[in-house]
Amino acid sequence: MSRCLTLKKSNCKNCYKCIRHCPVKAIRFSGNQAHIIDNECILCGQCFVVCPQNAKEIVNETEKVKVLIQSGDPVFVSLAPSFVANYEGIGINSMREALKKLGFYDVQETAIGATIVKREYERMINEDNRDIIITSCCHSVNLLIQKYFPNQLEYLADVMSPMQAHCRDIKEKHPNAKTVFVGPCVAKKDEADYYEGIVDAVLTFEELTEWLDAEGIKINKETDSNDQSRARFFPTTGGVLKTMVQDNTDYTYVAIDGVENCIAALKDIESGKIHKCFIEMSACIGSCIGGPVMEKYHHHRLPIKDYITVANYAGKKDFDVEQPNPVSIKKQFNFIEHQLREPFESEIQEVLKQMGKTEPSKELNCGSCGYNTCREKAIAICQGKAEISMCLPFLKDKAESFSDTIVKNTPNGLIVLNENFEVQQINAAARKIMNIRYASDVLGEQVVRILDPSVFIKVLNTKRDVRNQRIYLAEYKRYIEQTVVYDRESHLLIGIMRDVTDEETEREKKESISRQTIEVADKVVDKQMRIVQEIASLLGETAAETKIALAKLKESIADE
């Protein structure tokens, strides 16, 4: 399988949106990056459509087509019938005129090939006595059956797609011609690569538009009509059936679009209860006009308007084509092996345990990781396609558990308020400081019930944090050192309180001892002075030196 879809690694933001929308979960996550699993992918293009970072890229073949044109051989364009919905108000003649300016030899409608294919379907119904026939126009549907429903391969119509049938017809008439298909599909690039020698290159509408813009070529807003163009209905849901003669009443004719619906239908067929059915299957909802590279798809879908546009452009009769021999347009479909080893039950249970799913009631099956069930996710982890960290509830619980462990075990008191100064969270240390028995007693209440709110009001108004402010909580007879910060992202005020009552009591005790020591020293000084003066009066000596020494002693004690 060719790598038609690639990933810009730097753009992947690990949002898991691609895996949530991938109908076959063909995406592997490793190192916080998404990787498309080629042999599981059915190239429906949904990951390309939904990626919010435009991390998925479709391989551009514009340069390859330019080389084909430069070769000198006539290069024909097979233009998908959905072009009238993509290029509003523009017909095949205007497209031909514009594309010839790029160097193409001629432009024809793929609907010509669609006519060949639908006639072959009619022949199968009337001549081959088949039980169930599934159309093979959509390469993504073909890949879905080849990879995931090999037992249904016998029902897949073994006939070329309209793209192949048309390009084969062109090369039959012009042996040295090169063919380029232009349409809204990613999968057609893979189909062209896999079945070599029929389609030489594939461009999306987006690639063609970019090329025309780069060359400064404008497409004239002019439509045209052709009554022999009923196959132009092909890109709509039920469009194949609309072009067919359904006169064989033994068959039930059904049209199904969207991969999920196709999977459900294939499972229904697998049950063995479905018989004599002709089933038109399209991977895209709305069929090709809802294709991943319809340029309007990235902005908004217009399913009704686009259908009306196609219906108004389609004629009532078939294109005038020469029907080839059925053998010449046969196509072989083989089973494509992709299955990874199915993990043992013990391995699955071990992963579920690591995800915190220790019992069935904890398997939320929320789908946030992209997998439908926790068990599917566990199997994907065992197969190396997913990581445990993709489980949102697991990460949330882990983060909350880690946060709660810190909050519960920190010796500091923590109190969290919203911008209305209502208590949102309070830990055990804070409750101990304020003699609050249960958190539920204050949660949701105004902080003024338990604390002076002035510091919180100041921080909210000024957006300036207060740090390490020492205050006395008179009502609780406690000294605290408080820090109040405002978290702009969460719009929360966070108060951190360190109980310094013991420190403050010890400090006051030391101050009291110091005061008492100074008082004793003063008394000693006074007494000593009296004695000195008495001695001095007897001895005729001065007490100046003794007084200075004692003063220094007093100073020293006061400093302590």
Taking phi over 0 as left and psi of -120 to 50 as alpha, with beta for the rest, 87 belongs to: beta
Q: Determine, yes or no, domain membership for 435.
A: yes
Local structure of residue 28 (DSSP, 8 states): E
Q: Is residue 332 part of a domain?
A: no
Same domain, 285 and 300: yes
C-alpha to C-alpha distances, 199 to 140, 170, 209, nearest whole angstrom: 17, 10, 20
What local confidence, expressed as pLDDT, does residue 557 receive? 59
Higher pLDDT, 390 or 239: 239
The answer to whether residues 400 and 547 belong to one domain is no
| Domain of residue 522, residue span | 514-559
Report CA 436 to chain centroid distance, whole Å. 45
- Tell me which DSSP letter residue 434 carries: T
Tokens at 199, concatenated: 């389609």
Which domain CATH number covers 370? 1.10.15
Query: For position 298, what pLDDT does the model report?
Result: 47
Residues 301 and 352 in one domain: no
Give residue 134's pLDDT: 98
Residue 448, C-beta contacts closer than 8 angstroms, at least 6 positions apart: 421
Residue 158 belongs to some domain of the structure:
yes
The tens digit of pLDDT for each residue in 228-261 reads 999 999 999 999 999 999 999 999 999 999 999 9
pLDDT band, very low/low/confident/very high, at 528 (cuts 50, 70, 90): confident
pLDDT digits (tens, 9 = 90+) for 480-490: 999 999 998 88
The pLDDT assigned to 513 comes to 79
Q: Please report, for the domain that includes residue 460, its CATH number.
A: 3.30.450.20
Asked if residue 31 has pLDDT above 80, the reply is no
In a domain, 331, yes or no: no
pTM value? 0.73
SS3 470: strand
Say yes or no: 45 and 83 in one domain.
no
DSSP output for 294-328: -GGGGT---HHHHHHHHHHH--SS----PPPPGGG
Domain count within the chain: 5
Pair (401, 283) in one structural domain: no
Of residues 431 and 536, more confidently modeled: 431
Quick one: angle between helices 259-270 and 139-148, nearest 10? 40
User: Tell me, what CATH number does 50's domain have?
Assistant: 3.30.70.20
In the chain, count H helices and then E strands.
20, 16
The DSSP 8-state label assigned to residue 449 in this structure reads G
Q: What is the pLDDT of residue 540?
A: 54
Query: In angstroms, rounded to a whole number, what is the distance separating the alpha carbons of residues 197 and 230?
Result: 28
pLDDT at 410 over 90: no
Q: Which of 59, 87, 103 is the last residue of a domain?
A: 59
- Cβ atoms of 492 and 417 within 8 Å: the answer is yes
Decide which of 59, 74, 96 is a domain's last residue. Answer: 59
Q: Specify whether 14 is located in the same domain as 157.
A: no
Question: Which burial class, exposed, middle or buried, applies to 357 when counting CB atoms under 10 A from its CB (0-12, 13-18, 19+)?
Answer: buried
CA distance 78 to 183: 9
Same domain flag for 75 and 183: yes
Query: 């006939």: which residue's tokens?
Result: 159
In a domain, 16, yes or no: yes
Q: How far apart are CA 380 and CA 257, in angstroms?
A: 27
Judge if 359 and 474 occupy the same domain.
no
- Higher local confidence (pLDDT), 355 or 144: 144
Residues whose CB is less than 8 angstroms from the CB of residue 43 and which lie 6 or more positions away in sequence, other chains included: 4, 5, 139, 140, 143, 186, 187, 189, 190
Residue 340, pLDDT > 90, answer no
CB distance 75 to 68 below 8 Å: yes
What six digits make up the tokens of 56? 């998925």
Average pLDDT rounded to a whole number, residues 210-221: 96
**Among residues 39, 59, 79, which one ends one of the domains?**
59
Residue 111, CA distances (Å) to 165, 314, 423 in order: 10, 10, 68
> Which two tokens mark 502?
């013991």
456 and 482 co-located in one domain = yes
Question: Does one domain contain both 25 and 116?
Answer: no
Let me know if residue 294 belongs to a domain.
yes
The verdict on residue 322 lying in a domain is: no
Whether the predicted pLDDT of 416 surpasses 70: yes
Q: What percent of the chain has pLDDT over 70?
A: 91
Q: Which residue has the higher pLDDT, 432 or 518?
A: 432
On the question of pLDDT at 541 being above 60, the answer is no
What is the average pLDDT score of the chain?
89
Residue at 321 is within a domain: no
pLDDT of residue 455: 94
Which DSSP string do the residues of 189-203 spell out, in sequence order?
HHHHHHSTTT--EEE
Summarize pLDDT for 261-317 with one digit per residue, the tens.
999 999 999 999 999 999 999 999 999 999 999 985 445 678 899 999 999 999 999
Rounded Cα distance, 521 and 267, in Å? 101
In degrees and rounded to multiples of 5, residue 422 shows phi and psi of: -100, 140
Please tell me whether residues 228 and 254 are part of one structural domain.
yes
The string of pLDDT tens digits covering residues 35-87 is 888 889 999 999 888 888 888 889 999 999 999 999 999 999 999 999 999 99
Query: Do residues 186 and 93 share a domain?
Result: yes
